[in-house]
């Protein structure tokens, strides 16, 4: 990709997340322009296309063929991700960006990653927080003498109940707290533990719902490191992480979802409890993700590492999904 050349992208799925996060990020990045929109609600796609100076299409294939798009961004319902990814890959798109969860189970994700590799395409599941300067600074801190490497981690992502009727409560639409909230702390654990084989103990809670509404998991590896993750729908908003090292500890405010202007420092806690703020630059993590994909998307080593991270993440998520003990 040539620096300074905006790459045409087709956006599929025009819900609240696309309106609030994805479209503004695509507009803010100089490396992308929205060439086409696809939605299960054609009237919405047509209206938004007029507003954005884009074009609406009845299907991904039609949009890709008409626009020559070099990328597709999938922001639709989780249950549609498998078919949408396959349609984009079959149309020959070299970059498919898909909101989490990439699939509703590990089998779907493994099949998609294999199909993408066979097509020579990059299939990228959105984990935008890992592109933020905060996360980059956290990684450097963990490896520094001040922290001394990860010994134990803790992360939680939770939020109050959504309105009744929300797709998160519908099993057929890929609902549940694990796929919507749990994937955040679990993805952090998988990334910071480095993809090593881990033992997992997990539990889930459903209550009166047809899907899991809360869960927890502890990951432990053969080096004696551990990471505790918890998540839920129906409790107070929590977006926190804490990393304990051999020499120091790091408290991380809002590690996952955060506004572009967010700059609350992390806190480095020394071995005797002394607290030092650690600053980082503000950034829109979705713009940073899009710019990284533009910059590195043609780098074979970067692409392979990105898809390995997704495979490692989903190895953990699937084991939690299939082995969690139901506690209520």
Q: Is residue 298 part of a domain?
A: no
Write down the pLDDT at residue 3: 42
Rounded to an integer, the average pLDDT of 106-130 is 97
Distance of CA 53 to the CA centre of its chain: 28
Task: Return the beta strands (E) in 77-132 as ranges.
Answer: 95-98, 122-125
Flag whether pLDDT at 174 surpasses 80: yes
Query: Among residues of the chain, what percentage have pLDDT more than 70?
Result: 99
Residues 320 and 240 in one domain: yes
pLDDT band, residue 9 (cuts 50/70/90) = very high
Residue 161 sits in a domain whose CATH number is 3.30.360.10
Boundary of a domain, candidates 90, 105, 126: 126
Residues 117 and 57 in one domain: yes
Q: How does DSSP classify residue 324?
A: P
pLDDT 10s digits, 153-163: 999 999 998 88
258 catalytic per annotation: no
Residues 60 and 117 in one domain: yes
Q: Is residue 214 part of a domain?
A: yes
Flag whether pLDDT at 1 surpasses 60: no
Residues 142 and 252 in one domain: yes
Residues 115 and 169 in one domain: no
Is residue 200 exposed (0-12), middle (13-18) or buried (19+ Cβ within 10 Å)?
A: middle
Write down the pLDDT at residue 206: 95
Boundary of a domain, candidates 98, 126, 154: 126
Write down the pLDDT at residue 165: 80
pLDDT 10s digits, 212-265: 999 999 999 999 999 999 999 999 999 999 999 999 999 999 999 999 999 999
Flag whether pLDDT at 4 surpasses 70: no
**Contact between 110 and 311 (Cβ < 8 Å):** yes
Boundary of a domain, candidates 74, 102, 126: 126
pLDDT band, residue 324 (cuts 50/70/90) = very high
Write down the pLDDT at residue 5: 79
Residues 73 and 138 in one domain: no
Rounded to an integer, the average pLDDT of 287-310 is 95
Flag whether pLDDT at 2 surpasses 60: no
Per the listing, tokens 């977006």 go with: 239
Rounded to an integer, the average pLDDT of 49-74 is 96
| Active-site entry in 100, 258, 303, 319 | 100
Question: What is the residue range of 78's domain?
Answer: 7-126
Rounded CA separation 282/290 (Å) = 16
Q: Is residue 235 part of a domain?
A: yes
Q: Return mean pLDDT, the chain.
A: 95
Query: Among residues of the chain, what percentage have pLDDT more than 90?
Result: 91
Q: Is residue 295 part of a domain?
A: no
Residues 121 and 157 in one domain: no
Q: Is residue 238 part of a domain?
A: yes
Residues 133 and 272 in one domain: yes
Residues 260 and 179 in one domain: yes
Residues 87 and 215 in one domain: no
Residues 172 and 104 in one domain: no
> What is the total count of domains within the chain?
2
Residue 24 sits in a domain whose CATH number is 3.40.50.720
pLDDT 10s digits, 188-203: 999 999 977 899 999 9
Alpha carbons within 13 angstroms on the beta-carbon side of residue 178 total 29
């Amino acid at each position: 990709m040539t620096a300074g050349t905006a790459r045409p992208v087709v956006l599929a799925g025009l819900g609240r997340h696309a309106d609030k996060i994805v479209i503004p990020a695509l507009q803010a990045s100089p490396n992308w322009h929205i060439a086409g929109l696809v939605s299960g609600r054609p009237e919405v796609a047509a209206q938004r296309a007029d507003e954005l100076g884009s074009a609406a299409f009845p299907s991904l294939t039609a949009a890709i063929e008409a626009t020559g798009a070099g990328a597709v961004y999938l922001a639709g319902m989780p249950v549609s991700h498998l078919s949408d990814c396959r349609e984009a890959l079959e149309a020959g798109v070299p970059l498919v960006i898909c909101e989490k969860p990439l699939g509703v189970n590990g089998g779907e994700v493994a099949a998609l990653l294999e199909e993408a590799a066979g097509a020579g395409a990059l299939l990228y599941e959105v984990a935008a927080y890992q592109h933020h300067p905060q996360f980059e600074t956290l990684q450097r801190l963990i490896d520094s003498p001040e922290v001394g490497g990860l010994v134990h981690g803790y992360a939680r992502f939770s939020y109050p109940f959504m309105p009744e009727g929300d797709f998160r409560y519908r099993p057929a639409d890929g609902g549940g707290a694990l796929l919507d909230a749990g994937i955040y702390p679990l993805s952090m654990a998988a990334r910071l533990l480095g993809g090593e084989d881990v033992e997992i103990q997990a539990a889930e809670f459903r209550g009166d719902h047809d899907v899991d509404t809360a869960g927890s998991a502890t990951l432990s590896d053969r080096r004696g490191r551990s990471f505790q993750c918890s998540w839920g729908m129906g409790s107070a908003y929590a977006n926190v992480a804490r990393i304990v090292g051999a020499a120091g500890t790091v408290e991380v405010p809002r590690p996952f979802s955060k506004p572009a202007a967010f700059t609350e420092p992390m806190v480095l806690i020394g071995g005797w409890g002394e607290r030092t703020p650690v600053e980082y630059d503000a950034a829109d993590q979705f713009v940073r993700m899009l710019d990284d994909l533009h910059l590195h998307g043609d780098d074979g080593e970067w692409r392979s590492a990105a898809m390995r991270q997704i495979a490692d993440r989903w190895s953990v998520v699937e084991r939690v999904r299939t082995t969690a003990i139901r506690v209520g």
